Amino acid sequence: MLIDATTESLHPLEQIFFELKYSPTIEMAASLHAMECPKHFPSQKDRVDATRAKMGPDLRSEFNCIARETLGFAPVMDLIDHLERSDIDNIALFLDRLADVDPVEFAYGYFSGLIPKRTIRALLKDPQARIPEGEALGHYFPEKSLRAYFEIQDELRPRIASFLKAYWTDVFAREWDHIGAVEIRRLSEEKHALAAIGHRAYLAGCHAGISVDDDAVRLQKSMGFTIPYRSIKKVEIVISAYVRPHLMMNCFDDVLTIYKGVDMAISDRETSFAEVEKFVKAISSVTKLKILFELNRQEQTTKELAERFDVASSSISEHLKALREAELVYPQRVQNQVYYRFLHENYDAQLTYLKDAFRER
C-alpha cells in the first residue's frame, strides 16, 4: 500500500512514500534466523521449535551448515527484500530462479547494499581485493566472513536457493497457511494506524530503538545509525511474526526498510471477520475468479485483462481494487507498465484460516 502524504505537512517524513507489506519469502528467512538464534528471540521459541521439529534430518543438517556460512540467515532476509522490489514471480518460481540471479545483484542484496557494486565485481574476480572501510560493514560483516563468502559464492548461492526451496516445500508453506491470514489482518490494522497517526508517529512507534528528529531518523541497535531524510525516497515496513524484540532494518538504494515485529494473537474477531468478508466477496464473483485464473497463469496488466475479457479497463480496475483489498493480487511496476500477479500463497492462507475458524467453533 503506497500512501502519498500531503505536501502541506511540515515534517519531511510526511512527504516520503510509505509502503506497508508482508512477504512469505522474507518471513521464511526470518523464521530461519530466529531458529538459528533462539536466545535472541525468546518470544518465538515455541514457534520455531515446533517448526524445527518438522524438518527432516537431511534438511536440518543443511540448515546448520548454511546458517554457519550466512551469519544465521539474517543477510538472506535483506537479499530477498532487495530482489522482491523488482521480482513479480510467485514463491516457487522466485526460488527456482534464485540461483540464477546475477552474482553482483545477489551479493549486493546479501550485504545489505553496504558494498558498492564495483567493489563486488572486483571481489568476485579476486576475493582478496581491497574492501573499502565502513563502520557498518565491518560491524555486521567481519572481513574474514566477507571474504569467505566470495571464496565460496559459486557453491553457496545455489546451495542457499536449493535449501530455501526445500524448506518452503517441506515445511514453511504449511506454516504460512496458518500465519499468513493473521498477517493479512495485522497488515490491515497497521495501515489503519498509519492513516490515523501519520508517518512520523507511526515510524517512531515501530520500535523503541527508533527516534524521529527534524532532519533524520536515528536507529539505535548495537551501534547507532543516522539516516538523513534527504537520502530516503521510500520507507518500507515489512511486518513479521519472528523479529521481535529486535530492531532489524536496512537502508540502501534510497529505501529504508524496517522489519516490524507484530503480535500474532487475534483478539478482535470483528476485525478478523471484516477481512474475511473481503476475501469471500473477492472469490464469490465470477469475473473476479476469472481474473484470478488468468493471473495464476501469467502476470498481466489492466489493459491486457480488459482485452482478454472484452470489457472496459475501468471495470477491470474496480475488480482489481477489490482483489487487492483482499490481498489476493499484487501490483508491481516493471518499466512503464503495472503488472498484477495472483498471490496464491495468500489464497491458501485465507482458506486455511476459514477452516481453522470453523474447527474452533
pTM: 0.82
Question: Is the pLDDT at 348 greater than 50, yes or no?
Answer: yes
Q: Which residue has the higher pLDDT, 198 or 265?
A: 198
Q: Mean pLDDT over residues 262-279, rounded?
A: 67
Domain boundaries, the chain: 2-261, 269-360
The DSSP call for residue 333 is: E
Interhelix angle 91-98/24-36, rounded to 10 degrees, is 60
pLDDT tier at 285 (50, 70, 90 boundaries)? confident
- For residue 95, the SS3 value is helix
> What pLDDT is recorded for position 10?
64
- Is the confidence at residue 231, as pLDDT, over 60? yes
Burial class (CB in 10 A: 0-12, 13-18, 19+), 28: buried
| Residue 48: CA count within 13 A, CB half-sphere | 24
Looking at residue 137, its pLDDT comes to 78
Distance CA 316, CA 44 (A): 42
What's the confidence (pLDDT) of residue 5? 43
Angle between helices 344-360 and 269-283 (to 10 degrees): 130
pLDDT level of residue 132 (50, 70, 90 thresholds)? confident
Residue with grid cell 568476485, as numbered in its chain: 124
Q: pLDDT band for position 194 (50/70/90)?
A: very high
Q: What per-residue confidence (pLDDT) applies to 86? A: 76
pLDDT digits (tens, 9 = 90+) for 92-122: 889 999 999 999 999 999 999 999 999 999 9
> Average pLDDT for residues 171-183, to the nearest whole number?
89
Alpha-carbon gap, residue 288 to 296, rounded angstroms: 12
At 40, is the secondary structure helix, strand, or coil?
helix
CA distance 264 to 279: 19
Return the CATH architecture of domain 269-360.
Orthogonal Bundle (1.10)
Q: Which of 14-23, 216-225, 343-352 has the highest mean pLDDT?
A: 14-23
Give the residue-averaged pLDDT of 306-315: 91
Q: Residue 266: what pLDDT?
A: 55
Residue 323: pLDDT band (50, 70, 90) is: very high
Residue with cell 554457519: 68
pLDDT for 41: 86
- List, in sequence order, the alpha helices (H) in the chain: 24-36, 45-53, 57-69, 74-84, 91-98, 103-110, 117-125, 135-140, 143-167, 173-204, 269-283, 286-297, 302-309, 313-325, 344-360
* Residue 6 reports pLDDT greater than 50: no
Q: By three-state DSSP, how is residue 273 classified? A: helix
d(CA 11, CA 19): 18
pLDDT at position 44 over 50:
yes
When pLDDT is cut at 50, 70 and 90, the band that residue 248 belongs to is: very high
Q: What mean pLDDT is reported for the chain?
A: 87
Q: What are the contacts of 332-337 at 24+ separation with CB within 8 A?
A: 332/86, 332/88, 334/86, 334/88, 337/301
Mean pLDDT of all residues in 57-79: 95
